[in-house]
Amino acid sequence: MKDFYKKLTLIVVLFSFMPEAASQVSYNELLRETDYELKVEKGLLLCNIYMRNDIDSIRVLSRYFAQLYRSNKKSIYKFTGQKLDGSYFLRKGELELARKSLNGALNITQYDETEHTVSEIFVEIGNSYFLSGEGRLAIESYLLSMDIGEESQDLTSHYNGMLGLAKVYCSVGDTILGLQFAESFISNALDDDKYEALADGYAFLGMIYFDLGEAYKAKNYYKQSLYYSKMSGSRLHLAHAFNNRAIIDYQSNQLDSSYFYFNKSLGLRKSIGNTKSVVESYFNLGSYFIGIEQVDVGVKYIDSSRVLSNKLGFLQDEIDALEMLDLYSDSNSWSVRIDELKTKLDEQNKVSDGIKSLSAKILGSSRNNRTYISPRKRGEFLPWIIISLIVPFLVLTFLQIQKRLV
């Protein structure tokens, strides 16, 4: 009977993982694919995997599609290659190159044919503007993403831009509207079981409430983010999870553990190749060492964050690093540079009342206020649930019959 239960458990586990396994695609499968539409679909799926695990692989993928375009001149291959280049350059911190590639993709495609991908492209463009401190342009891109996403069959496109809007509005001082967008984003992601989105959303709320001085709330949100990061299966989100764990441990005065996880997060982020995350890790480690009164070590990490931010044009990150250096480093005064960057940031972040009203209107008319059925309730997962219940029962029945016949 022990062997039977072992077999039964194995069968249940295998069937429970079948939907996930079916959704994966390999580079070799992409090379073997002969249907051009499926090839593009698999290429974009691979890009989503690489964005979370190995940024440099996106470049290999984009070159493959560029080669395909040179061979047979199908515009969909050129579109895909440009989109992939944009995703690659964005994560490497080459913001102008990212926008050039992403806008190049938009010039090729027809919006009514690829709403989901076009919606994603506008989110990426919005992210590039946000990183360079151009809040007004970022908001416009996120709103375009949501507008186009409304026509997509992929329901996540309806709200992908919300977290970006949350970040921008909080950064320009409208924390109330920012938090509303963040909470709506999380509500939608919960309906759709989007673990990575939930990890990002809760991490953002943790950061905001930490800045607001509500440490207890911040800690709970970071714990939520940690939970969903571990469930996501993404190396990038695992790195975020290590970072969140480090923050929680620091707040709990578990300093050795906090340093271990900050350092682990930095190492993983470097290996993945996501430059924005590396900038964040340098800053966090610098803040950690300043917090434990090893100021000289902390200043070196903060300066690394400053140098990389300056090189890549991450305006807000550079300001944050310079303000810390101005407080804790005796080697230089950064007040003039800080004032210069803040003036530039304020100019780029001027958001009209009309744009704010439009944003609030879109938030109020989001899918939460119309008929929407989550994948779980729509029954998309039902066949797998039925299989996972019926198969063990059939196996058990078969074995019992076999036992009686013997």
* 250-260 pLDDT, tens digit each: 989 999 999 99
Locate 393 and state its tokens: 């029962």
Mean pLDDT of 190-196: 90
Per the listing, tokens 């800053």 go with 283
Q: Phi/psi class of residue 73: alpha, beta or left (left: φ > 0; alpha: ψ in -120 to 50)?
A: left
Q: Per the domain annotation, does 156 fall within a domain? A: no
Q: Per the domain annotation, does 339 fall within a domain? A: yes
Taking residue 279's Cβ as centre, other Cβ atoms within 10 Å add up to 26
Q: Per the domain annotation, does 313 fall within a domain? A: yes
Mean pLDDT of 320-324: 96
Q: Per the domain annotation, does 287 fall within a domain? A: yes
Q: Is residue 71 pLDDT above 80, yes or no?
A: yes
Q: Per the domain annotation, does 238 fall within a domain? A: no
Confidence category of residue 395, pLDDT binned at 50, 70, 90: low
Q: Which tens digits make up the pLDDT trace of 153-181?
A: 777 888 889 999 999 999 988 999 999 99
Average pLDDT of the chain to the nearest whole number: 84
Q: Per the domain annotation, does 282 fall within a domain? A: yes
Phi and psi at residue 212, to the nearest 5°? -80, -5
- CA 341 from chain centre, in angstroms, equals 27
Q: Per the domain annotation, does 50 fall within a domain? A: yes
DSSP state of 156: G
Task: Name the domain count of the chain.
Answer: 2
Instruction: Pick the most confident of 10-14, 181-185, 385-389.
Output: 181-185
Q: Which domain holds residue 45?
A: 24-109
Please state, for a pLDDT cut of 70, what percent of the chain lies above it.
82
Q: Which CATH number covers residue 336?
A: 1.25.40
Q: Is residue 59 pLDDT above 90, yes or no?
A: yes
Burial of 54 (0-12, 13-18, 19+ CB in 10 A): middle
Confidence category of residue 185, pLDDT binned at 50, 70, 90: very high
* Residue where one domain finishes, among candidates 72, 87, 109: 109
Mean pLDDT of 279-291: 97
Q: Per the domain annotation, does 375 fall within a domain? A: no
